[in-house]
């Protein structure tokens, strides 16, 4: 479990990093390395060039305002998790990040890295999809904004180009009067979930849920219609059935597809009720 | 007066160093040594048509590469079948490097030595092997069907069939008032120590000596194997175990291919060579355990007493069988636990499959035996509508029945005779500890809150401290420091602490003055190894005996010096003194000086020991039948094993919706005879329980039908985190000393893990009202069981509801 040979550059500025990426067709960005380094060690990935952006200090930020939370490429999960202002502006961040792996991994892993790694079993891509946020990508050609709906194109595949660095993820602020929830069942604490659901409910206005580990890419579903009359048994069941038409829960060594479908129903109900209740408590 | 150390919760002397990261493991040694990578089979079963290593030779930094064709002499022979048995009629072992055929994914094919591991792995990826894939035999059912064979010359894939019986079980079952049959299954797991396998070797051409450091549970075993394979005299080979990062059984297997290939390469290349196994390699090229199918037929009376019990086992031992039949023999015999069926018959078949070999993993077949017996007890209780504890109690061997002969032959070839114990008292303690008799109110209370809880219990007896022997050498230096050497190895148990406690007591020296070395063949050449919960029993006893020798000699020498009678002397705090008259005391260091008459003085202390000052001028300086030095060396060799016992109870909550299992309480009562250090024993129990939780609820080896291991990483092999194991383990001890050894010790190392599968099955079954016949169990599987139970009950809709799920276990019932 030792990586194949690769070149390593450690740029001191974003421009240097972008030039390095532009110089090689087979380059990879190294930030927290929590996914990339194991892939390298198992020789499942063997890029010719690694561009280590950890020296680019200005990318390590978490900024919140009324619009939402901006997370820089070098902000560690821990930084985002611990940021009270971010938790106030978009509570889903803290609720989801608590479930991301373990403290030691969160201390190193980056939230932006997790998003663009585009693992549909991970919490943060599902949060970006649910909140309809976006990622800002930079290359030597300039910057572009990739909406969540266009970012996740396949299993572990994002629309980020090989010469681009995802410099920022933007999570829109939670609208007033809304409640949120993240529910998941994982085999062990901190594992990738067998099924996960994130929900935003704004009573009387709308409701959305997004899913992880039961689909190839993060799937967000508008269940406003189903929730119009509140989270009754029938309403949450209908919401789950609607979601299931868009999901494809896999069978693997940890769980059957049947069980995951069952969890979609159970966790959709839990998440919608919990978000609904929170919205009402906030409203008081 | 020196405080008695035996039985005290003495802080482990190992921990300061280990917790500060100052441990020295194999991979920390010989920095700059050449490093090894191994080409391993990607196929579960294939013929090797051709191996082309030419592309490797161009890789910069590659020093050498070996395949089977390069091996000569004993190295070209199969690795040893370590433990032969008359019933093992078709034993097959692997070659150090595959010859013509591979029989599991991960089997070693080529051995590359390079300047570092990175280069070695680059080189391995360039070796071209042409395979002719063969059908893979995966799982017990495939092995039994024998549609395909693992080894062409082993019919039916059966390595061994062994039957043991006492009484006429079939007749007893047929005549019994009640009968049940159960089909059971336990899946594979593995030891998965933090540190994998590893070996470093250095050949000294000037001295003609080979030094091997290996992460092993038996340095003497490795030494003998290396000497044999490389054609060296035993006296030319030293094997040293540095710090070992856990073993749990897997490191008792020896020699591993790499364990002989590394020394071979070091000799051939004249440079130190190192192999450090990585995690992926550990999953596919070390060893697993536990996989068995079981069938039980049992006949019993109205009280649940076992009148006749007949057990069939199909044991999956993987591609080869180097460790013989130890695991299925232990399952067969230790299934009896604390019970005394009137007639018992057990027959097992040990079967080849195209998977990683199976060798003892902590518990070593007992978890499966306890599973089958305790599942049977619960099934009987459910059938009779009796309390599960009561049915067990009805079958207990009573305290006045020891020694109790189970009339079977144990893993060491000796009669299965229990030495001592008090099972009724253990059960009483457990019931009190966990509140067994009050649990119905807990259940009702939970039910009112919409929660579903269950309680389980499981009992076991563990034969510990198997022979043949262990030894100890103790040397008192002239400084008064006491140096203890045991040949048995340590992999984190706290031997240095526990054995120092024994020596401090036996010899009357301060604990701090005792230093214990283990697993170094230079210090103790005769030893067996660390397995079967035997270290405290075997080495502990040997240490006590050796210390008594030292004490006797010290008293004899001091009696002369102090002009007192030996019987009037005692050793207190490292000094020999006339009992009750500490003024005239003599330091043990001084006694050591007196014990060794010198011709040459090299410091102030030794001036006192020259031939002009020591001894009686009318006698030889060293008397006949005596020898210089204040030393003692002794061996302990018991006639048979000593039997520890324990009982666990667990309270679980099962989520009615998600089928997740949460542990609410975990209670242990444990009897390992005399406790040397209760803190170490409890640590062993805690670790065992954690490992047991893993085996019961999380871990399995997920092979697909082509023999690929799908979860060969800690991402997918679910070893429990601290968040998954009980926050608190309630422990109570009982001490029924063993009459078989000087201190009354029984083993404790494996105990914690033994009852887990049975225990959690019992508790989950109690919570759910669904028979649990297969472990481990995941939430997904429990969900499936609920659905099937609901379908059987004819109400699919209510699968999730608390009330409907509590139904009677479905059994093959027969009554007359």
Helix (H/G/I), strand (E/B), else coil: B592: helix
Q: What CATH number is given to the structural domain containing A30?
A: 3.30.43.10
* Mean pLDDT score, B430-445: 97
* Cα gap B537→B415, rounded to integer Å: 18
Q: Does position B404 have pLDDT exceeding 80, yes or no?
A: yes
Within a domain: A191: yes
Amino acid B601: pLDDT: 80
Give the per-residue pLDDT at B614.
66
pLDDT for position B810: 45
Per-residue confidence (pLDDT) for residue B693, from 0 to 100: 97
**Torsions phi, psi of A146, nearest 5?**
-110, 110
pLDDT of residue A95: 98
E strands, B227-378, are 237-240, 273-276, 292-300, 306-318, 344-352
Q: Distance between CA atoms of A141 and A19, rounded to whole angstroms?
A: 10
CB contact under 8 A, B784 and A254: no
Q: Which residues of B307-342 are buried (b: 16+ CB within 10 A; e: fewer)?
A: bbbbbbbbbbbbbbbbbbbbbbbbbbbbbbbbbbbb
Give CA torsion, residues A139, A144, A147, A152, to 10 deg.
-30
- Mean pLDDT over each residue of chain B, to the nearest integer: 94
Among candidates B448, B464, B166, which has minimal Cα distance to B330?
B464
Q: Are residues A199 and A267 in the same domain?
A: yes
Q: Do residue B780 and residue A2 have CB atoms under 8 angstroms apart? A: no
Q: Kindly list the residues from chain B whose CB atom is less than 8 angstroms away from the CB atom of residue A258.
A: 783-784, 787
Confidence band (pLDDT; 50, 70, 90) for B4? confident
- The answer to whether the CB atoms of B721 and A194 lie below 8 A apart is no
Residues A72 and A163 in one domain: yes
**Is the per-residue pLDDT at B623 higher than 90?**
no
Instruction: Give CA torsion, residues A149, A153, A157, A161, to 10 deg.
Output: -80
Task: List helix spans (H) across B631-742.
Answer: 678-693
pLDDT given at position B802: 39
- The answer as to whether A1 is a domain residue is no
pLDDT of residue B815: 44
Distance CA A160, CA A118 (A): 10
Chain segment A8-58, per-residue pLDDT in tens: 999 999 999 999 999 999 999 999 999 999 999 999 999 999 999 999 999
pLDDT in tens, B706-758: 999 999 999 999 999 999 999 999 999 999 999 999 999 999 999 999 999 99
**d(C-alpha A92, C-alpha A81), whole Å:** 10
The list of chain A residues with pLDDT below 50 reads none
Residues A138 and A84 in one domain: yes
Instruction: Tell if the CB–CB gap between A256 and B784 is shorter than 8 Å.
Output: yes
Residue A138 and residue A74 in one domain? yes
Residue with tokens 């585009």: A118
For residue B689, the distance in angstroms to the closest alpha carbon of chain A comes to: 17
**The pLDDT value given to residue A283:** 61
Confirm whether A112 is domain-assigned: yes
Is A188's CB within 8 Å of B280's CB? no
Tell me, what's the pLDDT at B611? Answer: 67
Contact residues on chain A for B784, CB-CB shorter than 8 A: 256, 258-259
Domain range for A223 is: 179-283
B783 to chain A: closest CA residue = A259
Chain-chain contact of A255 with B780 (C-beta, under 8 angstroms) = yes
Buried b (16+ CB within 10 A) or exposed e, B121-153: bbbbebbebebeebbbbbbbebbbebeebbbee
Q: Measured between alpha carbons, how far is residue A44 from residues A37, A114, A236, B422 in Å?
A: 10, 18, 41, 56
Within a domain: residue A143? yes
**A274 assigned to some structural domain:** yes
Cβ–Cβ of B779/A255 closer than 8 Å? Answer: yes
Nearest to A1 among B279, B710, B721 (CB): B279
Condensed to tens digits (0 to 9), the pLDDT of residues B300-313 reads 999 999 999 999 99
Q: At B506, is the pLDDT very low, low, confident or very high (cuts 50, 70, 90)?
A: very high
The pLDDT value recorded for residue A41 is: 94
- Whole-number pLDDT of residue A281: 83
Kindly state whether residues A19 and A80 are assigned to the same domain: no
pLDDT surpassing 90 at residue B651 = yes
Helical pair B366-384 and B756-768, crossing angle rounded to 10 deg: 30
Residue A6: per-residue pLDDT: 96
CB atoms within 10 A of CB B205: 8
Count helices and strands (H / E) in chain A.
Answer: 12, 14
Task: Kindly state whether residue A2 falls inside one of the protein's structural domains.
Answer: no
Of B280, B724, B778, the CB nearest to A254: B778
> Hey, of A43, A187, A261, which one would you mutate to test binding to chain B, going by the most B CBs within 10 A of its CB?
A187
- On the question of pLDDT at B616 being above 90, the answer is no
A79 shares its domain with A155? yes
Nearest to B278 among A1, A256, A267 (CB): A1
Chain A residues touching B783 at Cβ < 8 A: 256, 258-259, 262
Q: At what angle do helices A257-283 and B779-792 cross, to 10 degrees?
A: 100
Q: Do A188 and B724 touch (CB under 8 A)?
A: yes
Give buried/exposed letters for B41-61 (b at 16+ CB in 10 A, else e): bebbbbebeebebeebeebee
Evaluate whether residue A145 is within a structural domain: yes
Q: Pairing between strand B209-214 and B237-240?
A: parallel
The Cα B63–Cα B266 span in angstroms is 11
Asked if residue A144 belongs to a domain, the reply is yes
Q: pLDDT band at residue B447, thresholds of 50, 70 and 90?
A: very high
Point out the domain boundary residue: A152, A172, A192: A172
From chain A, the residues in CB contact with B711 under 8 A are 253
**The predicted structure's pLDDT at residue A284:** 53
CA of B798 to nearest chain A CA: how many angstroms apart? 14
Cβ–Cβ < 8 Å for B588, B630: yes
Identify the domain boundary among A113, A137, A172. A172
CB atoms within 10 A of CB B239: 31
pLDDT band at B646 (very low <50, low <70, confident <90, very high): very high
User: What is the three-class DSSP state of A170?
Assistant: strand
Q: What is the pLDDT of residue B604?
A: 77
Average pLDDT over residues B527-549: 94
Tell me what pLDDT residue B597 has: 84
What pLDDT, on the 0 to 100 scale, is given for residue B607?
75
Residues of chain A with C-beta less than 8 angstroms from the C-beta of B723: 188-190
Task: Decide if A128 contacts A148 (C-beta within 8 A).
Answer: yes
Tell me if B723 and A190 make a contact (CB, 8 A cut-off).
yes
Q: What token pair was written down for B296?
A: 């039980």
**Are A103 and A22 in a shared domain?**
no
List residues of B whose CB lies inside 8 A of any A CB: 117-118, 121-122, 125, 278-280, 657-660, 698, 700, 702, 710-711, 716, 718, 720-721, 723-724, 778-780, 783-784, 787
Q: How far apart are CA A33 and CA A73, in angstroms?
A: 12
- Residues B721, A189: C-beta atoms closer than 8 Å: yes
Q: What's the rounded Cα separation, in Å, for the pair B585 and B573?
A: 10
Question: What's the pLDDT tens digit per position in B686-708?
Answer: 999 999 999 999 999 999 999 99
Predicted pLDDT of residue B812: 47
The pLDDT assigned to B603 comes to 80
Query: Looking at residue A241, which CATH number applies to its domain?
Result: 3.30.390.50
For residue B121, the chain A residues in CB contact (below 8 A) are: 1-2, 4, 43
Q: Which of B279, B658, B711, B717 best probes binding to A when mutated, by most A CB atoms within 10 angstroms?
A: B658
Residue B798 has pLDDT above 60, yes or no: no
Same domain, A100 and A166: yes
Give the best residue of A98, A233, A257, A262 to mutate against chain B (max B CB count within 10 A).
Answer: A262
Q: Is there a cis peptide before residue B368, judged by omega within 30 degrees of 0?
A: no
Establish, for the pair of chains A and B, how many residue pairs have beta carbons separated by less than 8 Å: 66
| Spatial separation of the C-alpha atoms in residues B794 and B770, rounded to whole Å | 14
Query: Which residue of chain B is at minimal alpha-carbon distance from A1?
Result: B278
pLDDT at B807 over 60: no
Same domain, A96 and A153: yes
- Shortest Cα–Cα distance, A43 to chain B (Å): 10
Say whether pLDDT at B120 is over 80. yes
Residue A33 sits in the same domain as residue A68: no
Query: What is the per-residue pLDDT for B258?
Result: 98
Q: Which of A120, A140, A172 is the C-terminal boundary of a domain?
A: A172
Backbone angles phi, psi at B669, to 5 degrees: -115, 140
What tokens does B504 get? Answer: 């401090």
pLDDT of residue B804: 35
CB burial class (10 A; 0-12, 13-18, 19+) of residue B514? buried
**How large is the ipTM?**
0.95
State how far residue B708 is from chain A, nearest Cα, in angstroms. 13
Domain count, chain A: 3
B181 vs B233, B334, B455, B467, CA distance in Å?
Answer: 55, 20, 23, 36
CB contact under 8 A, A253 and B716: yes
Chain B residues in contact with A5 by the CB 8 A cut-off are: 118, 122
End-to-end distance of chain A based on CA atoms, in angstroms?
Answer: 55
C-alpha torsion sign, points B249, B501, B727, B445: positive
Q: Please indicate whether, in this complex, the C-beta atoms of B721 and A262 are within 8 angstroms of each other.
A: no
pLDDT digits 0-9 by tens, A58-69: 999 999 999 999
CB contact under 8 A, B723 and A188: yes
Give B117 to chain A, closest Cα distance, Å. 7
pLDDT tens digits, B462-497: 999 998 999 999 999 999 999 999 999 999 999 999
CA separation, residue B130 to residues B49, B50, B109, B121, B319 (Å): 5, 5, 12, 19, 21
- pLDDT at residue B347 in the model: 98
B interface test, pick of A192, A259, A261, A264 with most B CB neighbours within 10 Å: A259
Is the pLDDT at B549 greater than 50? The verdict is yes
Q: How far apart are CA B377 and CA B675, in angstroms?
A: 30
Sign of CA dihedral A13, A18, A19, A21: positive
Tokens of A129: 């999809």
Instruction: At B811, list the tokens.
Output: 């059994």
Domain annotation for chain B: domains and CATH numbers: 18-134+191-285 (3.90.1170.50), 292-466+639-807 (3.30.365.10), 468-636 (3.30.365.10)
Q: What is the pLDDT of residue B805?
A: 36
Asked if residue B415 lies in contact with residue B401, where contact means CB atoms within 8 angstroms, the answer is no
Residue B797's pLDDT is what? 47
Distance CA B676, CA B735 (A): 11
Q: Same structural domain for residues A155 and A85?
A: yes
The tens digit of pLDDT for each residue in B554-603 reads 999 999 888 899 999 999 999 999 998 888 889 999 999 889 888 788 88
Judgement on whether residues A167 and A183 belong to the same structural domain of the protein: no
How does pLDDT run across B323-358, given as a tens digit for each residue?
A: 999 999 999 999 999 999 999 999 999 999 999 999
Buried b (16+ CB within 10 A) or exposed e, B249-287: bbbbbbbbbbbbbbbbbbbeeebbbbbbbbbbbbbbbbb
B1 pLDDT above the threshold of 90? no
Packed helices B495-507 and B540-562: angle between N→C axes, nearest 10 degrees: 30
Residues of A contacting chain B (CB within 8 angstroms): 1-5, 42-43, 102, 185, 187-191, 194, 253-256, 258-259, 262-263, 266-267
């Amino acid at each position: 479990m030792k990586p194949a040979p690769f070149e390593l550059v450690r740029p001191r500025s974003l421009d240097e990093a972008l030039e390095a990426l532009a110089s090689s067709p087979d380059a990879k960005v190294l930030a927290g390395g929590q996914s990339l380094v194991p892939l390298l060690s198992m020789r499942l990935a063997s890029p010719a060039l690694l561009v280590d952006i950890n020296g680019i200090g200005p990318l390590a930020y978490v900024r919140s305002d009324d619009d939402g939370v901006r997370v820089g490429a070098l902000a560690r999960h821990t930084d985002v998790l611990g940021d009270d202002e971010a938790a106030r502006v978009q509570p889903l961040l803290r609720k989801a990040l608590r479930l991301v792996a373990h403290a030691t991994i969160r201390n190193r892993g980056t939230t932006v890295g997790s998003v663009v790694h585009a693992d549909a079993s991970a919490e943060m891509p599902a949060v970006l999809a649910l909140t309809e946020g976006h990622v800002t990508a930079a290359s030597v050609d300039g910057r572009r904004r990739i909406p969540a709906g266009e970012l996740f194109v396949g299993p572990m595949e994002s629309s980020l180009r090989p010469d681009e660095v995802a410099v920022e993820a933007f999570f829109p602020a939670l609208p007033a009067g809304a409640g949120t929830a993240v529910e998941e069942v994982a085999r062990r604490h901190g594992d990738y979930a067998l099924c996960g659901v994130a929900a935003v409910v704004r009573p009387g206005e709308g409701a959305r849920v997004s899913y992880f580990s039961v689909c190839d890419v993060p799937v967000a579903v508008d269940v406003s219609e189903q929730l119009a009359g509140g989270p009754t048994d029938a309403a949450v069941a209908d919401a789950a059935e609607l979601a299931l038409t868009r999901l494809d829960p896999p069978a693997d060594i940890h769980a059957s597809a049947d069980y995951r479908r069952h969890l979609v129903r159970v966790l959709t109900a839990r998440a919608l009720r919990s978000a609904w209740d929170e919205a009402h408590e906030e409203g008081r | 007066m020196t405080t008695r150390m035996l039985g005290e919760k003495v802080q482990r002397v190992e921990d300061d160093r280990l917790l500060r990261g100052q441990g020295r493991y194999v991979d920390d040694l010989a920095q700059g040594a050449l490093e090894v990578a191994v080409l391993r089979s990607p196929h579960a079963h294939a013929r090797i048509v051709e191996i082309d290593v030419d592309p490797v030779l161009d890789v910069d930094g590659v020093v050498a590469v070996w395949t089977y064709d390069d091996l000569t002499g004993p190295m070209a022979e199969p690795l040893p079948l370590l433990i032969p048995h008359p019933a093992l009629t078709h034993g097959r072992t692997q070659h150090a490097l595959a010859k013509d055929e591979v029989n599991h994914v991960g089997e070693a094919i080529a051995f590359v030595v390079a300047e570092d591991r990175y280069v070695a792995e680059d080189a391995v990826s360039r070796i071209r092997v042409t395979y002719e894939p063969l059908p893979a035999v995966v799982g017990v059912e495939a092995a039994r069907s024998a549609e395909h064979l693992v080894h062409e010359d082993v019919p039916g894939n059966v390595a061994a069939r062994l039957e043991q019986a006492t009484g006429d079980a079939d007749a007893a079952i047929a005549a019994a008032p009640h009968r049940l049959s159960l089909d059971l299954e336990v899946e594979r797991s593995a030891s998965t120590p933090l540190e994998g396998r590893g070996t470093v070797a250095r050949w000294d051409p000037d001295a003609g000596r080979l030094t091997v450091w290996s992460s092993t549970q038996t340095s003497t075993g490795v030494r003998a194997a290396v000497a044999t394979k490389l054609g060296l005299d035993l006296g030319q080979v030293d094997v040293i175990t540095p710090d070992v990062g856990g073993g749990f059984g897997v490191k008792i297997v020896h020699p591993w291919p790499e364990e002989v290939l590394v020394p071979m390469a070091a000799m051939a290349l004249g440079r130190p060579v190192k192999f450090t196994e990585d995690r992926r390699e550990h999953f596919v090229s070390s060893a697993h355990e536990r996989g068995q199918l079981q069938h039980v037929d049992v006949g019993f009376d109205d009280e649940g007493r076992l009148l006749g019990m007949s057990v069939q086992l199909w044991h999956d031992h993987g591609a080869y069988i180097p460790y013989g039949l130890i695991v299925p023999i232990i399952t067969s015999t230790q299934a009896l636990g604390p019970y005394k069926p009137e007639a018992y018959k057990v027959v097992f078949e040990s079967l080849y499959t195209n998977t990683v070999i199976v060798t003892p993993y902590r518990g070593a077949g007992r978890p499966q035996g306890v599973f089958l017996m305790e599942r049977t007890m619960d099934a009987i209780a459910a059938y009779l509508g009796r309390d599960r504890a009561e049915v067990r109690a009805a079958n207990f061997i009573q305290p006045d029945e020891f020694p109790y002969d189970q009339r079977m032959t144990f893993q060491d070839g000796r009669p299965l005779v229990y030495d001592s114990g008090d099972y009724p008292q253990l059960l009483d303690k457990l019931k009190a500890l966990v509140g067994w008799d009050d649990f119905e109110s807990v259940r009702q209370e939970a039910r009112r809150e919409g929660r579903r809880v269950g309680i389980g219990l499981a009992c076991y007896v563990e034969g510990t401290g198997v022979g043949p022997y262990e030894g100890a050498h103790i040397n008192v230096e002239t400084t008064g420091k006491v140096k203890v050497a045991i040949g048995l190895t340590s992999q984190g148990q706290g031997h240095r602490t526990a054995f120092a406690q024994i020596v401090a007591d036996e010899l009357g020296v301060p604990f701090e003055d005792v230093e214990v070395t283990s697993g170094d063949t230079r210090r103790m050449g005769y030893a067996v190894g660390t397995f079967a919960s035997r270290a405290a029993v075997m080495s502990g006893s040997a240490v006590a005996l050796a210390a008594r020798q030292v004490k006797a000699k010290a008293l004899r020498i001091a009696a002369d010096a102090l002009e007192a009678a030996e019987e009037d002397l005692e050793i207190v705090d490292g000094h020999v003194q006339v009992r009750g008259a500490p003024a005239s005391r003599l330091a043990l260091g001084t006694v050591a000086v007196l014990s060794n008459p010198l011709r040459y003085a090299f410091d102030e202390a030794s001036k006192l020991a020259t031939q002009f000052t020591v001894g009686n001028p009318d006698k030889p300086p060293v008397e006949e039948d005596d020898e210089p030095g204040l030393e003692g060396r002794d061996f302990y060799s018991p006639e048979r094993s000593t039997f520890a016992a324990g009982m666990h109870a667990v309270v679980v909550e099962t989520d009615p919706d998600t089928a997740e299992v949460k542990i609410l309480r975990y209670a242990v009562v444990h009897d390992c005879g005399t406790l040397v250090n209760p803190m170490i024993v409890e640590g062993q129990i805690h670790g065992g329980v954690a490992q047991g939780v893993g085996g019961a609820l999380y871990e399995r080896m997920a092979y697909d039908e082509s023999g690929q291991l799908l979860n060969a990483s800690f991402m997918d092999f679910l070893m429990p985190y601290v968040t998954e194991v009980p926050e608190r383990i309630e422990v109570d001890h009982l001490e029924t000393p063993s009459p078989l050894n000087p201190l009354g010790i029984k083993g404790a190392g494996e105990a914690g893990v033994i009852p887990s599968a049975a225990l959690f099955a019992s508790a989950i079954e109690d919570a759910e009202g669904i028979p649990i016949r297969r472990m481990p169990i995941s939430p997904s599987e429990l969900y499936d069981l609920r659905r099937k139970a609901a379908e059987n009950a004819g109400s699919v809709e209510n699968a999730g509801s608390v009330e409907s799920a509590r139904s009677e276990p479905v059994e093959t019932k027969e009554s007359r």
